[in-house]
Amino acid sequence: MIKKISSYIFILAVLVLAGCDPTENIITDIPEAGFIQLASETGTVSEGATNVEIDVLYGAKSNQNGVTVKYTVTSEDPSRYVDVTGGTLEIPAGEFSGKIVIAPVNNAATDGDLKIAVTLTSDSSAPVGLVGGVNNVTQNLTLIDDDCPISINDWVGTYTVAEVFSAGGTNAGLTLAGAFGESYQIELALDPTDTDGIKLVVTNSAGFNTYLPNGTVITFDTCNAKVSYSNDPLNIAAFANLTISETAYNEGGFSISTNGSLGNFGAYEFKLTKQ
């Protein structure tokens, strides 16, 4: 009984919004099969959200057999979300509402906000929209891009390597280049598998010693101005790995800084700067 009363209240609200005289017989204006429509015409969701729920309302005197709601989801880039409900929503007998669930895809590309249209279709088992009244058959959902821009092409090039044991211990101020009589320089190129525009691949420059392993992928965390590496960034002379504690990049100066501990030899840092 409570759900039925709630349904009548919803119907009255729809008719009042539509400009109808609330003193009219609202019950006789309702189609025998009732009608379905969306609770809202607009909405927003961040691409980092788990999902967004779109409320579907069924206005009727009763719901004895359940209602099948059909709908479409359209946009310029369907790869950026998943229609979890799958185009069909079942409102069970005795119920007067249901939820269409859309799950955003949290990519790492700076691809801008996306407009998504969720539209009820006429092959549903009840009429779509109230004839002569409010007709919320489409919700225009805005998917908010939560990524930060970077011009990855500008980072391609040749980089000098400045490296040093940075603080404390007997090795402070020493360099690996000095210890091993080596010299370092690397090339950063676009990762051909990268679809988000945030990755570079390392190659040691010809005529220089190996510093970072060839093929190491550097991934930019653009909103936090940090980077990550696809493998241990250092394994100098196979005697020690670098345990990273902090990374940062400076887009204005095209430099990447990395700090950590190099095995048991103490705190160590290196900085890659574009020539």
* pLDDT 10s digits, 221-245: 999 999 999 987 876 656 678 899 9
Q: What does the alpha-carbon distance between residue 234 and residue 256 come to, in Å, rounded to a whole number? A: 15
pLDDT band at 21 (very low <50, low <70, confident <90, very high): very low
Q: What does the alpha-carbon distance between residue 110 and residue 194 come to, in Å, rounded to a whole number? A: 13
Q: What is the pLDDT of residue 147?
A: 87
| Across 22-31, 71-80, 87-96, least confident range | 22-31
| Across 25-34, 55-64, 87-96, least confident range | 25-34
Q: What does the alpha-carbon distance between residue 194 and residue 178 come to, in Å, rounded to a whole number? A: 36
**Residue bearing the bigger pLDDT, 5 or 258:** 258
State the burial class of residue 253 (Cβ atoms within 10 Å of its Cβ: 0-12, 13-18, 19+).
Answer: exposed
Highest mean pLDDT among 5-14, 126-135, 164-173: 164-173
Contacts 24+ apart (CB under 8 A), 14-18: 14/59, 14/130, 14/133, 14/134, 15/130, 15/133, 17/133, 17/134, 18/130, 18/132, 18/133, 18/134
Helix (H, G, I), strand (E, B) or coil at 176: helix
Q: What is the pLDDT of residue 86?
A: 98
206 to 81, 177, 184, 199: CA distances (angstroms): 44, 16, 10, 22
97-153 residue pLDDT tens: 999 999 999 988 888 999 999 999 999 999 998 765 567 899 999 999 998 999 999
220 to 2, 18, 133, 246: CA distances (angstroms): 54, 51, 51, 13
**Is there a contact between 269 and 257 (Cβ–Cβ < 8 Å)?**
yes
Longest dimension (CA), the chain: 94
Q: What is the pLDDT of residue 23?
A: 39
248-261 residue pLDDT tens: 999 989 999 999 99
How far, rounded to the nearest angstrom, does the alpha carbon of residue 65 sit from its chain's CA centroid? 39
Asked whether residue 206 carries a pLDDT value surpassing 90, the answer given is yes
Q: What is the pLDDT of residue 29?
A: 57
Residue 56 neighbours by CB distance under 10 Å: 25
Tell me the domains of the chain and their CATH numbers. 2-144 (2.60.40.2030), 152-274 (2.40.128)
Residue 254 neighbours by CB distance under 10 Å: 16
Q: What is the pLDDT of residue 134?
A: 60
Asked whether residue 4 carries a pLDDT value surpassing 60, the answer given is no
30-83 residue pLDDT tens: 667 799 999 999 999 999 999 999 999 999 999 999 999 999 999 999 999 999
Q: What is the pLDDT of residue 109?
A: 85
pLDDT band at 198 (very low <50, low <70, confident <90, very high): very high
Q: What is the pLDDT of residue 133?
A: 57
**Phi, psi (rounded to 5 degrees) for 46:** -80, 145
The amino acid sitting at 177 is A
Asked whether residue 24 carries a pLDDT value surpassing 60, the answer given is no
E strands present in 123-214: 138-144, 157-165, 185-190, 199-204
